[in-house]
Amino acid sequence: MAPRRQGAAGALEDSDTRGCCVPSECLRPREPVRFEDAVRVLCNNDTCAAGRYMHRACFEQWEVGVLAYLKSCGRARSWSERQRHQNLWTKKGYDLAFKACGCRCGRGHLKKDLDWAPPGSVARADEEKKRRRRTRPGRTPAAGDGRARAFSLSSSGSCSPPSAPSEPSTSPTHQPQHALTPAKRNSKVEIVSDRIRAGAGANGIFSRRLDFSTFNLLPKHKVNSYQIKIEDEGNHGNDDTRLFILSTLAGQHKPRVTCALCEDTLHVFDRYPLVDGTFFLSPKQHTSGAVEVKVEGRTQYLTCVCMGCLERCDPERTIRCRFCSQKWDGASLVLGTMYSYDIFMATPCCADRLKCNSCYKPLLHPQQRLNYSDYSHPVTCPHCRVLDTHFVKPLTYCFTKRAYPVFQQWP
């Protein structure tokens, strides 16, 4: 291997290092990797020429996707977030997660070099310890940690559509999802130019959202934390819903998803809001892009709808019931998170949507209504006794983009 030397201003220079070797798109493509801000990785392909160093910020983002994948693997499912962090680059965790660590060379897998430390890091660590000892005991840090927070999380409410009351909808992996409330009264959201980073590669790495400018599409009164999910529910970013989505997509090597209605491609982000739209689980695979998952022993499909279709931004995005011509409206749904039921089937508008999938007889009285999530559950038809998710039907059967209802016998 060619010898390494330190170039001007601390940049790394050698024939084996060709800038940042992060498998996804580099966050700082024009900046050289420097010792003081570098993480060294090793590839198990002896002929790999992709490089050995990453910018620390690039490595940390890449590591998020690997951790999300690890959460879905074997015994790691029972580990705490702290244990996954501790075990990831040791044999205990890496043996489970290496498939999410593909190298740019395409023939090997990357692993963090735990034995490498940047030159001078020991001296800096000693200086930091001395500085801390000089700090007066009992001194507390200044209020505020320098992070600009546009929104914060409330501990009440549910992620059900807020347009009508309902019981809280249960997430597939934890307690009911929570709604969002503003961090400060009368706080305003600062929207800047759209600089969302491009999506990552097929190794489970997701984009890092740099601002919220894509939500300029919304009316101003909706740009708030009631309408957009911003922060994790758990401590230190340990949110089961977020990790469930990221681990599911990482396992399928899907850093992007497709809208179920318009088929636009959407980037998936590593923090809330996870997508410029919303995810939901359905017992029916509405599109080929929906990802099959197992939730409490039941087969479900993780599906996405973009913000434009939810908001019906133009007539081309408006869908209507084939039977009564009523428009479907998803504008009340919280963006950037996931619903544990089929959002298209949660508010049936007419009696034709309430028929059995087998004998086509009505399952409910015309005035009878269920909770949002109950329409996605299996029920037994009182007429033919067939057990099925009868209220969940194909989108093409229930909806049309035409202005007038068009009846179509199903299936």
Predicted local distance difference test score (pLDDT) of residue 1: 40
**Residue pointed to by tokens 């998710």:** 389
Q: Which helix (H) or strand (E) holds 399?
A: strand 399-400
302 confidence band (pLDDT: 50, 70, 90): very high
Beta bridge partners of 11: 34
Predicted local distance difference test score (pLDDT) of residue 176: 34
Report whether 50 contacts 83 (CB < 8 A): no
Amino acid at 152: S
Average pLDDT, the chain: 75
Predicted local distance difference test score (pLDDT) of residue 50: 85
Question: Which tokens in the block code for residue 119?
Answer: 């030159």
Q: Which helix (H) or strand (E) holds 63?
A: helix 56-71
Identify which of 374, 328, 334 has the alpha carbon closest to the alpha carbon of residue 354. Answer: 374
**Measured distance CA(226)–CA(233) in Å, rounded:** 14
Rounded to an integer, the average pLDDT of 121-128 is 55
Predicted local distance difference test score (pLDDT) of residue 79: 86
Predicted local distance difference test score (pLDDT) of residue 225: 82
Residue 161 has pLDDT above 60, yes or no: no
Burial degree of 25 (CB within 10 A; 0-12, 13-18, 19+): middle
Predicted local distance difference test score (pLDDT) of residue 18: 55
Half-sphere exposure of 241 (CA within 13 A, CB side): 28
Report whether 311 contacts 327 (CB < 8 A): no
Q: How far is CA 254 from CA 19, 199, 206, 207, in A?
A: 25, 10, 9, 11
Rounded to an integer, the average pLDDT of 94-99 is 88
Which residue did the predictor score with more confidence, 388 or 203? 388
Report whether 158 contacts 177 (CB < 8 A): yes
SS3 40: strand
Predicted local distance difference test score (pLDDT) of residue 109: 92
> Other CB atoms closer than 10 Å to residue 42's CB: what's the count?
17
**Measured distance CA(129)–CA(383) in Å, rounded:** 75
Ramachandran sector of residue 242 (left: φ over 0; alpha: ψ -120 to 50; beta: rest):
alpha
**Measured distance CA(268)–CA(258) in Å, rounded:** 10
Identify which of 268, 288, 286 has the alpha carbon closest to the alpha carbon of residue 277. Answer: 268
- Domain spans, the chain: 5-117, 149-347
Identify which of 372, 310, 307, 380 has the alpha carbon closest to the alpha carbon of residue 342. Answer: 372
Q: How far is CA 244 from CA 67, 69, 173, 357, in A?
A: 11, 9, 8, 31
Lowest-confidence segment of 117-126, 130-139, 148-157, 312-321 by average pLDDT? 148-157
124 confidence band (pLDDT: 50, 70, 90): low
pTM to 2 decimal places? 0.53
Pairing of strands 53-55, 38-43: antiparallel
Taking only Cα atoms into account, the Rg of the chain, rounded to an integer number of angstroms, comes to 25
Backbone angles phi, psi at 208, to 5 degrees: -105, 120
Pairing of strands 265-267, 256-258: antiparallel
Backbone angles phi, psi at 352, to 5 degrees: -65, -20
Lowest-confidence segment of 66-70, 281-285, 354-358 by average pLDDT? 66-70
Which residue did the predictor score with more confidence, 173 or 211? 211
**Measured distance CA(394)–CA(400) in Å, rounded:** 11
**Measured distance CA(236)–CA(271) in Å, rounded:** 12
DSSP code, position 62: H
Burial degree of 233 (CB within 10 A; 0-12, 13-18, 19+): buried
**Measured distance CA(50)–CA(110) in Å, rounded:** 11
- Within the chain, what is the greatest distance between any pair of CA atoms? 80
Which residue did the predictor score with more confidence, 115 or 275? 275
Amino acid at 402: R
Report whether 332 contacts 369 (CB < 8 A): no
Burial degree of 336 (CB within 10 A; 0-12, 13-18, 19+): buried
